[in-house]
Structure 1
Amino acid sequence: MSGERRWRFALSKRWLGYLGLLVVFAIACGFLSHWQFERRDERVSENARITGNFDREAVPIESELASLDAFSINQEWTPVLLQGRYLTDEQLLARSRPHNGLPGFEILTPFETEDGRVFIVNRGWIPTGDAQDSPDHVPAPPEGDATVVARLKPGEPEIPGRSAPAGQIATIHLPQFAEELGTDRVYTGAYGLLSAERPSAETGALTTKPALDEGNHLSYAFQWIIFAIIALLGLIFGLRAEYRDRNPDDPKVKEALARERERAGRRRRTDAEIEDELLDRAGA
């Protein structure tokens, strides 16, 4: 029988189905691997922004944000300096904000600068109340003139259908905050995480410098590639095994089986086998 006819079984519906599954699985592994590479690239970029911006000297906000809607992701974590006063009566709480595994809120207090613009300052995290779905205590900002240093963060997208009770906001969607304030003088490109304020006052738990960690994305990306290779090798070995079963008279199959039996015969004896042999000799 010719070699071509011996391999004809590989074109059966069953093996073509296995091949189709392998192709789909390999594509899925490639997609997931690429996704992990992209996530790692995002973390690398984030780490670079933290390293380059977090510990910079604060600059006046108007020199960093030229307009109310100006913001570039490369400016994230950059400290800006504001002078003016807090609008305490316009303060809102961002709800559903976990921190160290606990539910809570973030305090969002508008800060009116000396030129009349309004910048939203996140004054930290506070927990939910002991007996109700609202804080037991909300720290108040300093009264009167104040100087604030805050680190820039991009606003959050609006989530359709998510609402919040009076005095709260579902997401830090800055245009919605501007509507709540009823003014078009609000910075809508970015808000700020409080770093320092003078005079000082009680705050919530402030954001600390994030850890510079790339995560396990690179190893996960390579794992998905390895899974695809393992699946391919499994298909190849399955074809090889069935070929041997169907063609025991093939000289190459006979030669391969003979080599395998020879290797099995020369395999290293186990400690138990050696011990049994010694006992048999002693008994004799």
Structure 2
Amino acid sequence: MFKRIFLPLLFGLGGAAILISLGTWQLQRLAWKEAILAEIDTTITAAPVPVPEAPTQDADQYLPVTATGTITDQEIQILGSVKKIGPGYRIVSAFESEDGRRLLLDRGWVALEAKNASRPPVQAQITGNLHWPDEMTSSTPEPDLVAGIWFGRDIPAMAAHLNTEPVLIVLRETSETEQVTAPFPLDSSGIPNDHLEYVLTWFGLAIVWLGMTAFLLWRINRKTL
């Protein structure tokens, strides 16, 4: 009897052990990712500082900054869609700070029909976060400069087009009395975190594997009897 069930039992327990170990590893990865997201949220909402002279992605991603100057009418409209908002255009404008710098300012979203609405220059004190978005892929279309439509935030290309530094501020707050865009501040919700799904998948497979093993052993036991 033992010889008949030894190999199926070994195979079943070994497979379940592998699946459980994978689920445990993903559980550890989940805790790691949640800690990173919490740290990012803490960074995003910290007290703002002046824009560094030469910010870098490695050192200054999500850094809260503040500046005073002019939001110009030189802008780029990026076609996209936001969950719970729908399709629209993300407006990225050239921002001229009081100290003479020209930076990129992501002002947020407007509806499709507001693409060509008037957005005149305005003096404002802004608060936001430095950001280097990872949106450009090999399948992202080139900007349609005739129609004035872009399809992703390409910082070097946008900076060259608007004659600014390759530094992007995503608007969080502004002193504008009449806002012509809906700011879409940064938070960690847009960062993928699929580890819980993987945990449930691997542990679920382990349960199914053990159930199949138990059923196979029951069948073998019946035949032996």
Relative to the length of structure 1, the TM-score reads 0.61
Which residue does the alignment assign to 1:180? 161
Offset of 1:151 from its aligned partner? 2.1
The structure 1 residue matched to 2:125, chosen from 147, 158, 162, is 147
The structure 1 residue matched to 2:170, chosen from 193, 210, 229, is 193
Which residue does the alignment assign to 1:118? 102
The structure 2 residue matched to 1:205, chosen from 174, 177, 182, is 182
Query: What code does the residue aligned with 1:42 have?
Result: K
Asked whether the 8 Å contact 2:68–2:97 carries over to 1, the reply is yes
Query: What code does the residue aligned with 2:157 have?
Result: Q
Query: What code does the residue aligned with 2:153 have?
Result: I
Asked whether the 8 Å contact 2:22–2:202 carries over to 1, the reply is no
What SS is found at the alignment partner of 1:138? Answer: coil
Which residue does the alignment assign to 1:72? 58
Asked whether the 8 Å contact 2:26–2:199 carries over to 1, the reply is no
C-alpha separation in 2, matches of 1:111 and 1:245: 79
C-alpha separation in 1, matches of 2:143 and 2:40: 32
Greater relative contact order, per chain length (Cα 8 Å cut-off, separation 6+)? 2
Q: Calculate percent identity across the aligned residue pairs.
A: 18
C-alpha separation in 1, matches of 2:25 and 2:60: 24
Does residue 42 of structure 1 match 2:33? yes
Residues 172 and 200 of structure 1: CA distance in aligned 2, closer, same or farther (over 3 Å): same
The structure 2 residue matched to 1:165, chosen from 131, 134, 144, is 144
Structure 1: give runs of 5+ residues left out of the alignment: 130-134, 249-284
Query: What code does the residue aligned with 1:49 have?
Result: I
The structure with the greater share of residues assigned to strand is 2
C-alpha separation in 1, matches of 2:194 and 2:206: 19
Residues 208 and 229 of structure 1: CA distance in aligned 2, closer, same or farther (over 3 Å): same
Tell me the number of residue pairs that the alignment of Structure 1 and Structure 2 aligns: 220
Asked whether the 8 Å contact 1:92–1:168 carries over to 2, the reply is yes
Asked whether the 8 Å contact 2:26–2:195 carries over to 1, the reply is no
Residues 32 and 119 of structure 1: CA distance in aligned 2, closer, same or farther (over 3 Å): farther
Residues 224 and 97 of structure 1: CA distance in aligned 2, closer, same or farther (over 3 Å): closer
After TM superposition, the structure 1 = structure 2 runs for residues 87-126 of structure 1, keeping only pairs within 5 Å, are 87-89=72-74, 91-126=75-110
Residues 174 and 36 of structure 1: CA distance in aligned 2, closer, same or farther (over 3 Å): farther
Offset of 1:175 from its aligned partner? 0.7
Which residue does the alignment assign to 1:233? 210
Offset of 1:36 from its aligned partner? 6.7
What SS is found at the alignment partner of 1:169? Answer: coil
The structure 2 residue matched to 1:51, chosen from 42, 48, 51, is 42
Relative to the length of structure 2, the TM-score reads 0.74
C-alpha separation in 1, matches of 2:118 and 2:170: 15
Residues 196 and 10 of structure 1: CA distance in aligned 2, closer, same or farther (over 3 Å): closer
Structure 2: give runs of 5+ residues left out of the alignment: none
Asked whether the 8 Å contact 1:140–1:201 carries over to 2, the reply is no
Query: What code does the residue aligned with 1:147 have?
Result: Q
Residues 72 and 109 of structure 1: CA distance in aligned 2, closer, same or farther (over 3 Å): same
Residues 29 and 160 of structure 1: CA distance in aligned 2, closer, same or farther (over 3 Å): farther
C-alpha separation in 2, matches of 1:158 and 1:219: 27
Residues 213-252 of structure 1: CA deviation (Å, up to 9, x unaligned): x99967545423432332332243133223222221xxxx
